[in-house]
Amino acid sequence: MTTAVRKKLSANDVGTTGGHQAGILVPKEKQVLSFFPDLDKTVKNPRMKLVVFERESRERWEFNFIYYNNRLFGEGTRNEYRLTGMTKFMRAIDAKVDDILVFSRDENASFEVEIIRASTSSSLQIDGDTLVLGGGWTVIHSS
């Protein structure tokens, strides 16, 4: 079971490239997607609002988890999952390239997020229950 996912932030993720990327790309790997709510793939561009709490401050944020799937409906080229609605949050925490966002769930199954600064992220332990994926994502499994 996936208990947490981590995303090492890129320049696109923190908005320093000047591009118009719509949120953080979430890989289609089962291990990552199983952490997030299921979305109905038979619906065009299904989405769900995620209520997320900062782990330390308990400040409440609302992000969107979206499956942009218009290609499957013959209406475009997109076939990707994204977390959107995060701009204010990223600015509030002063997110920088190479910082790591950790998404987890608390004892009530509520979503939590915390940031690990790039200057301290080199001390993160990777053990046998951790899967490192492309795109800066890491999956943490429970024992």
Are residues 140 and 31 in contact, defined by beta-carbon separation less than 8 angstroms?
no
How much is the pLDDT for 19? Answer: 66
**CA–CA distance from 62 to each of 43, 53, 85, 103 (Å)?**
22, 9, 7, 13
Instruction: Convert the pLDDT of each residue in 108-138 to its tens digit.
Output: 888 999 999 988 755 455 454 544 445 677 7
The CB density around residue 143, as the number of other CB atoms within 10 Å, is 6
- Per-run averaged pLDDT (10 residues), the chain, 143 residues: 82 78 84 92 95 93 95 92 92 91 86 89 50 61 57
How much is the pLDDT for 64? Answer: 96
- CATH of region 2-141: 2.40.330.10
How much is the pLDDT for 16? Answer: 79
- Return the structure tokens found at 136: 């800066």
How much is the pLDDT for 17? Answer: 74
The sign of the torsion formed by the CA atoms of 19, 72, 38, 133 equals negative
How much is the pLDDT for 131? Answer: 47
Domain spans of the chain, in order of start: 2-141
- Coil vs helix vs strand at 135: helix
